[in-house]
Copies of this chain bind each other. A is one copy, B any other.
Amino acid sequence: MTERITEDPGAAAPAAVRPLPPAPVRRVSMADVARRAGVSSQTVSRVSNGYPGVVEATRRQVLDAMAELGYRPNSAARALRSGRFRTIGVILFSLSTTGNVRTLEAIATSAAAQGYAITVIPVEAPTQGGVRGAFTRLGELAVDAVILLMEVHLLDAADLTLPDGVPVVVADSDADDRYPVIDTDQADGSRTAVQHLLDLGHRTVVHLAGPEQSFAGQRREDAWRRTLTDAGCEVPEVYRGDWSAWSGYEVGREIARTDATAVFAANDQMALGLMRALAESGRAVPDDVSVVGFDDVPDAVAYRPPLTTIHQDFAEVGRRCVELVLQRLDAGAADHGTTLVPVRIVERASTAPPPS
């Protein structure tokens, strides 16, 4: 499979040369339908788009001809004509985190409901090279709008810009005020989690944080710290994982050696690993140590013990992203605010008052 891809943004300097094979079977066009129905192709267009000014009898004829011939509008021609692809691009680094996946799913569903398709643009790990390729193509991508499922500053790091005139919305990240943001209310989630533990009587709460580069992780951590400070609690050392259950386990072994009685993990997967580490050290959850997670992954209800966690409304985030990006597409609105989607705590069996 040879490839002809622009390597250089703005300029085109492709390598291999293989003309695409001849276009596949010519499909049924409006002209064909028009001939069959004995009308002009413009009338077919009108019927196809539901415009008025077509008498019922004619309409029927056209509809019949369409059915007989199996006519399908050609979206390339449509897009060329209208300048719209009816497609939204979603740029993301990976589908390995629950959040991204569920948000993507919600985006796809909402977009479909609006008659828009979703093009997924995966960007490999932030290696300069990999990113570059993916983004370069973006300019010529058949996309009317873009939803970024990643931190905007990573985009900068890659030294790339989105094409002008394409509405962009950022989900679950920061955006340097350049684009509007739809985000889970990370701060409120953290606060709720920590407060829940404090209310149970824990003297303070240890935080198993996400990676430093993650904006969401950063905000969860900040809110944890602030909540403790506001409550006049001592702020313990931060432990840091990389979102994976395994990192939760590794870091969890350190936490298990401390006298912590309450841990707030920045996501459920790390909480899973943490709970294993605690169990292996003979510290019972929730009797000896309480644990709260973040995300409310479907599995959390089957963790041992079922995890108390902060439920994120990914569906709502996705829905709002689509809504906002389409609104900007139509109106060209320009307020770069941040919209927060509320969260709620789901109390299960991993939290209890501290051992007396």
Q: Which residues of B contact A64 (CB under 8 A)?
A: 11
A264 at the interface (CB under 8 A from B): no
Which of the candidate stretches A79-87, A191-199, A216-224, A229-237 sits at the interface with the other chain?
A79-87
Chain A, 56-71, contact with B by CB distance < 8 Å: what is the 0/1 string? 0000000110110011
Contact of A298 among B73, B134, B246, B330 (CB under 8 A): B246
Counting from the closest, the 4 A-B pairs by CB-CB distance are A23-B83, A14-B50, A245-B302, A76-B79
Q: Which residues of B contact A140 (CB under 8 A)?
A: 72-75
Shortest distance between the CB of A356 and any CB in chain B (Å): 25
Q: Which residues of B contact A249 (CB under 8 A)?
A: 301-302
Known: A121-B117, A165-B24. A76 touches B85 (CB 8 A): yes
Chain A residues bordering chain B, tally (CB within 8 A)? 95
Contact B82 A20 (CB under 8 A): yes
Known: A6-B73, A14-B49. A119 touches B279 (CB 8 A): no
A179 at the interface (CB under 8 A from B): no
Assembly stoichiometry (copies): 2
Contact A326 B1 (CB under 8 A): yes
A343 at the interface (CB under 8 A from B): no
Known: A12-B66, A75-B140, A139-B72. A49 touches B4 (CB 8 A): yes
Chain A, 109-141, contact with B by CB distance < 8 Å: what is the 0/1 string? 100101101111110100000000110010111
Shortest distance between the CB of A339 and any CB in chain B (Å): 17
Q: Which residues of B contact A24 (CB under 8 A)?
A: 83, 165
Contact A11 B67 (CB under 8 A): yes
Known: A76-B76, A112-B134. A70 touches B10 (CB 8 A): yes
Q: Which of A83, A108, A141, A249 counts the most B-chain CB atoms under 10 A from its CB?
A: A83
Q: Which of A94, A142, A303, A323 counts the most B-chain CB atoms under 10 A from its CB?
A: A142
Quick one: closest B residue to A60, CB to CB?
B11
Shortest distance between the CB of A99 and any CB in chain B (Å): 12
A334 at the interface (CB under 8 A from B): no
Q: Which residues of B contact A77 (CB under 8 A)?
A: 76, 80
Q: Which residues of B contact A163 (CB under 8 A)?
A: 72
Known: A50-B13, A102-B95, A301-B246. A84 touches B20 (CB 8 A): yes
